[in-house]
């Protein structure tokens, strides 16, 4: 399964979390989708890249470490985490629908984002 296909599975989970104004730990997301925690960064990158490329709030900001309550070091879409989480909660993600695996793959090619520091400074 490609990272774009996995991203298409993760998107609805994050969309529902946003609708319910919830953050998810990496551990919980790992359990929900059946992927080891250490493999999540590469699966979240297509979602982060898609959001950046399409001017959407950073949906992956809802996935946080249980130790710090903050996104991991691969998250680079925003610096003011609480403010951007509110923006994510305010967006109607269910109305947007889930991008296709191909759109996720294209977003990563056009705007790679995992571990790229300071993409957005707002």
- Give the domain range for residue 12: 3-94
The pLDDT mean for the chain works out to 91
Q: Is residue 114 part of a domain?
A: no
pLDDT of residue 114 exceeding 80, the answer is no
Are 112 and 21 within 8 A, CB to CB?
no
Question: What's the confidence (pLDDT) of residue 80?
Answer: 92
Q: Is residue 9 part of a domain?
A: yes
Strand partners, 64: 25
60-112 confidence digits (pLDDT tens): 999 999 999 999 888 888 889 999 999 999 999 999 999 999 999 999 999 98
Token pair in block for residue 55:
């001017």
Q: Is residue 100 part of a domain?
A: no
pTM over 0.85: yes
The three-class DSSP label of residue 25 is strand
Q: Is residue 122 part of a domain?
A: no
């Amino acid at each position: 399964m490609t990272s774009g296909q996995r991203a298409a599975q993760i998107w609805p989970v994050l969309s529902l979390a946003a609708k319910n104004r919830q953050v998810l730990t990496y551990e919980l997301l790992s359990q929900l989708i059946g992927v080891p925690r250490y493999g999540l960064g590469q699966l979240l990158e297509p979602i982060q890249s898609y959001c950046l490329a399409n001017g959407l709030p950073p949906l992956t900001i809802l996935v946080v470490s249980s130790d710090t309550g903050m996104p991991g070091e691969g998250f680079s879409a925003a610096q003011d985490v609480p403010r951007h989480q509110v923006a994510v909660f305010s967006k109607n993600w269910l109305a947007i629908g889930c991008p296709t695996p191909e759109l996720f793959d294209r977003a990563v090619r056009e705007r790679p984002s995992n571990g790229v520091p300071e993409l957005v400074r707002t």
